[in-house]
Amino acid sequence: MQYKCRVEVIDKKVFPEYQEKYLADPKSGPCPFYKVGDVTLFERYGGEDTFWTQAKGAHCSEAWDCISRYIYTALQGGSIMRGWTNDEHMMIACCNDGTRPVIFKIERLDYKVVKIEGMECAGCADKLKAALENVSLVSSVDVRLDKGWVEVFCDRNNSPADEALARAVEAAGFKVEEID
């Protein structure tokens, strides 16, 4: 099983009374760095490690200080917040700015990498995607034609058997090199 982490800005708050009382710029307003709906995807697989590259410039230091530990935990396959949230794959967190906090939804995405022999074109990708989306417990499929593999995202608490994935690939006319 492999893991990605999806971080979404779900809300922004502003407390003008605190800004008026405590800030050098009492009219600074809401956080200018993020917009509600912003999404950042972190991954560490196949030579890619976006944990550090996404942090540079993509997140302000106050926010990164608060959310990076959850992102790192998710990328390692750990429980982000067992017993605190109703789904241990997810955490709600906010930055440290007490006058204009940004609220983040942090999700661990579980997936299997199916390396495919003979996947060479967009038509192949479409055929494989359709075949794998029909396998039980598969929630979504992302074909990485440039890498020669398919990422099969799983139901939160269960994952499809490797044999079921291999059968779907073979039924579509391709051969599995490896499932990771």
Give the Cα separation of 99 and 18 in Å (integer). Answer: 6
Partners of 41 in the β-ladder: 6
Burial of 24 (0-12, 13-18, 19+ CB in 10 A): exposed
If you average pLDDT over every residue of the chain, what do you get? 91
Please, what are the domains in the chain? 2-109 (no CATH), 110-179 (3.30.70.100)
Phi-psi region for residue 49, left (φ > 0), alpha (ψ -120 to 50) or beta?
beta
pLDDT digits (tens, 9 = 90+) for 46-72: 888 888 777 666 788 889 999 999 999
pLDDT digits (tens, 9 = 90+) for 98-116: 999 999 999 999 999 999 9
pTM of structure: 0.88
pLDDT at 114: 96
Please, which pLDDT band fits residue 18 given cuts at 50, 70 and 90? very high
Burial of 56 (0-12, 13-18, 19+ CB in 10 A): exposed
Mean pLDDT for 28-32 is 94
Strand duo 90-94 + 39-45: pairing: unpaired
Q: Residue 72 has which token pair?
A: 């790192």
How many percent of the chain have pLDDT more than 90?
A: 73
pLDDT at 61: 86
Mean pLDDT for 82-110 is 90
Count Cα atoms within 13 angstroms, Cβ side, for 133.
10
Mean pLDDT for 13-20 is 96
Please, which pLDDT band fits residue 94 given cuts at 50, 70 and 90? very high
pLDDT at 55: 66
Block residue for tokens 């075949």: 131
Partners of 142 in the β-ladder: 151
pLDDT at 56: 66
pLDDT at 84: 80
Pseudo-torsion of CA 166, 169, 171, 175, nearest 10°?
-90
Q: Does 80 have pLDDT greater than 80?
A: no
